[in-house]
Amino acid sequence: MLNVIRNIKVYSPEYLGKKDLLFVYDKIEGLYDSFKASNSCIDVNEIDGTDKILLPGFIDSHVHLLGGGGEGGYATRTSELCFDELAKAGITTVVGCLGTDGVSRNLISLLAKCKELEALGLNTFMYTGSYRIPISTITGNIQSDLMLVDKIIGAGEIAISDHRSSEPTFEELARCIADTRVAGILTDKAGVCNIHIGAGKRMLNLLYDILEKTDIPSKNILPTHLNRNKTLLMEGINYVKKGGYIDLTTSTDIKHLEKDEVLAGEGLKIYLDKDLPIENITFSSDGNGSLPIFDDNGILIEVGKGSVSSLYEEVKKSILKYKISIEKAIKVITSNPSDRLKLKNKGYIKQGYDADFVIVNNKDLSIETVYSRGKIINKY
Ligand code: ZN
Residues of the chain under the 70 pLDDT cut: 253-257
**Ligand 1 centroid distance, CA of 107 (Å):** 16
Cα 249 to Cα 276: distance, rounded to the nearest angstrom: 18
Q: What angle do CA 251, 255, 258 make, to 5 degrees?
A: 65
Closest CA to 356 of 31, 37, 25, 26: 26
- Number of residues written out for the chain: 380
Give the rounded distance of the alpha carbon of 122 from its chain centre. Answer: 14
Residues with CB under 5 A from ligand 1 (ion): 157, 196
3-state secondary structure of 175: helix
Sequence-distant (6+) residues with CB within 8 A of 295 are 301
Residues acting as catalytic residues:
286
The whole-angstrom separation of Cα 336 and Cα 352 is: 19
Distance 283 CA to ligand 1 centre (A): 13
Q: Ligand 1 centroid to 166 CA: how many Å?
A: 13
Spacing, Cα 248 to ligand 1 middle (Å): 11
Nearest alpha-carbon partner for 316 in 12, 58, 20, 51: 58
C-alpha of residue 99 to centroid of ligand 1, in Å: 6
Ligand 1 centroid to Cα of residue 348, in Å, is: 27
Nearest partner of 8 among 27, 26, 29, 34, judged by Cα: 34
Phi, psi of 50 (to 5 degrees): -60, 135
Contacts 24+ apart (CB under 8 A), 133-139: 133/158, 133/166, 133/168, 133/172, 133/173, 133/176, 134/172, 135/176, 136/102, 136/106, 136/107, 137/107, 138/107, 138/108, 138/111
- Comparing C-alpha atoms, which of 120, 115, 133 is closest to residue 173? 133
The alpha helices in 41-97, defined as continuous H runs, are 83-88
Q: What is the pLDDT of residues 298-333, one digit of tens each?
A: 787 777 788 999 999 999 999 999 999 999 999 999
The pLDDT assigned to 133 comes to 97
